[in-house]
Amino acid sequence: MELFDAYRPWADAHVFFDAAGVPFTGPAADDHLSRQTAAWERRLAESPNGHLLRHNALFDALSGGGRIHLLHVTHALERISRQGVLYPSGGCLVGSVYCAPLTATDRGLRMHNLAEYILTKEAPAFLARLGVTDRVPTPLVFEIDVPPHAYRGLAGVDYLRLGLIHLGIYRHLEYLLGTDERHRLRDAVVARVRDSAVFLATSAAVTHRGSRHRGTRIAAGPYLRLLADAVPRLPILGYLYFEAISEYLMLHSTSPRTRRLADVGELNNWLYKEVLFASYPDMAGKFDLAAFHPRPERLPGLLRRIDPGIDPAHAADYLVERISHLVAARLIAPGGVPSAWHHTRWEFDALAPRFGPLLGHLIHRELRTFGRYPDFYFYFDQYKALQAWNYWNHMGIVAPFNGTMPKGEVGINPAYPHLGYRVWRAERDDTGHVHPVEELPLTIAPRLVDIKYTLMRNNQWAAPTPSAAA
């Protein structure tokens, strides 16, 4: 897949918003899934905190004029200062310097609650788990000057939509593997899909309930057990599961903290962070969502522990509908839902037209541990980053954000031509505000840091903030 040919799939992987913060959906297609997608957008917007999907601190920061202030957390300031270079990382923001927005106030720069959690909770927990006692996480303030010709709209990349891009890159680079290795890889991912056919078929049936297809209803418990059982075979389902729970909590929580954050335009990121680390305490700094598959019998206690006001039964029913929709919308090609699953031909080339996005996600994950390919995996993600940078520069996007939801995750495009920025080491005062105290002569380099050197894998490099990474 050449960079030029990648334009369309990268455009499809982004979510664009109009001036009112409403996602562009284009002309309404006359098919059930498109109508269901539009219905979900309305349903999410009508939830207790749904107004924050369109009017929020992140959008205000990105559309507020010619200067953006962002906060990045590192645990290795001494090393990056010595080298003078900060590298972006892969993950949910593909190839960006992972940040969160800052808001200027009379008392200093107010951190978004996402950054506050990472700086005060997540990063310290990661260092403690490693037994590191000679350093602390350091906030860095970036001041970005947005050029007049930059894109003035809102564009977020949705990492759950990257499946076809992963598949295309693999097809372009597959000859780095030998013939026998390619056959083994294809057979491995086909077996994962085949052995998960019951879950996929159930999701399709739930999704197409009410359409001209024969639909079905299923109780939350059996569906979520099928999901939990399928995650080890289809790791991307762990990401869908996590995003659906995160979405539900942020949109339906009415706790005092959630209401206070809503007053300043922020979704409460602490909710899903606490779900993750309450379920998997060793996940701090690692964020391997392929391991995220809490079983349904654990959900009520887990959700009540995070927010006693949440109704677990309502949440479980929501998760069935939402996850089944995401399976159809993100993992199956348009029009690819088969009417008779038992007639499926379980061969790679036969599956690709219908399950291309799912196969792409599976291959991207499999390559991390497959034979000799871990030696090439860095170049796979670097190639993906090159495509993203090329698309962002074509569009004039300086600060892409996580388009699954406007949580506050925003990146800096390291390849933007003549990007104007300044970087400061910052300190946090007793009120929680941060203040730039020392300007640093750092350069953002358009080259990915190897994943083994990031905060998600190691403590020896200039690590980006931990993030959910597919």
pLDDT in tens, 199-249: 999 998 898 764 444 456 789 999 999 999 999 999 999 999 999 999 999
DSSP 441: -
Give CA–CA dist 190/319, Å, rounded. Answer: 26
Q: Which residues share a beta bridge with 21?
A: none
In DSSP notation, 395-414 reads: HT-SS-EETTS-SS-EEE-T
Tell me the longest C-alpha to C-alpha distance in the chain.
65
Share of the chain above pLDDT 70, in %: 89
> Is 423:437 a contact under the CB 8 Å cutoff?
no
Of 1-5, 44-48, 171-175, which range is least confident? 1-5
Q: What are phi and psi of 29, to 5 degrees?
A: -75, 145
Q: Name the CA radius of gyration of the chain, rounded.
A: 22
CA distance 412 to 177: 33
- Residue 459: the pLDDT is 38
pLDDT tier at 285, thresholds 50, 70, 90: low
- CA count, 13 A, side-chain hemisphere, 315: 27
Q: Report, as an integer, the average pLDDT of 112-124.
A: 95
What is the pairing mode between strands 97-105 and 108-111? Answer: antiparallel
Q: What is the pLDDT of residue 460?
A: 35
pLDDT value of residue 259: 98
Given pLDDT bands bounded at 50, 70 and 90, which one contains residue 372? Answer: confident
| Tens-place pLDDT, residues 435-449 | 999 999 999 999 987
- SS3 state at 149: coil
d(CA 120, CA 218): 41
| CB neighbour burial string for 361-398, b if at least 16 within 10 angstroms, e if fewer | bbbbbbbeebeebeebbeebbbbbbbbbbbbbeebbbb
Helices (H), 131-212: 163-173, 179-194, 197-207
pTM value is 0.92
pLDDT of residue 393: 96
Report residue 454 as tokens. 């990031």
Pairing of strands 154-157, 401-402: parallel
What lies within 8 Å, CB to CB, of 6 at 6+ separation is: 165, 168, 387, 390, 391
Which is it for strands 401-402 and 67-74: parallel, antiparallel or unpaired?
A: unpaired
Over residues 363-380, the mean pLDDT reads 82
pLDDT in tens, 35-58: 889 999 999 999 999 999 999 999
202: Cα separation from own chain's centroid: 25
Please give the structure tokens belonging to residue 271. Answer: 């909710």
Q: Are 136 and 127 in contact (CB under 8 A)?
A: yes
67 φ, ψ (degrees, to nearest 5): -140, 135
Q: Cα dihedral sign for 2, 3, 5, 8? A: positive
Low-confidence winner among 82-86, 192-196, 304-308, 375-379 (lowest mean pLDDT): 375-379
Question: Distances in Å between the alpha carbon of 212 and those of 219, 272, 339?
Answer: 22, 36, 11
Complete DSSP assignment for 406-463: -SS-EEE-TT-TT-EEEEEEEEE-TTS-EEEEEEE--EE-SSPPPGGGSTTT-SSS-P
pLDDT at 456: 42
Write down the pLDDT at residue 467: 40
pLDDT of residue 336: 66
The pair of three-digit structure tokens given for residue 274, joined into one six-digit string: 């606490």
The span from the CA of 168 to the CA of 162, in Å, is 10
Q: Which residues contact 264 (CB under 8 A, 6 or more apart)?
A: 57, 103, 110
Q: Which among 143-152, 276-285, 461-470 has the top mean pLDDT?
A: 143-152
pLDDT at 112 over 70: yes
pLDDT tier at 374, thresholds 50, 70, 90 = confident
Give dist(CA 238, CA 108) in Å, integer: 38
* Mean local confidence (pLDDT), 264-292: 85
Torsion of Cα atoms, 386 then 457 then 143 then 63, to 10°: 60
* pLDDT the model gives residue 56: 96
- The H or E element spanning position 200 is helix 197-207
pLDDT of residue 33: 84
Q: What is the pLDDT of residue 278?
A: 80
Both tokens assigned to 51: 């107004």
Q: State residue 281's pLDDT score.
A: 75
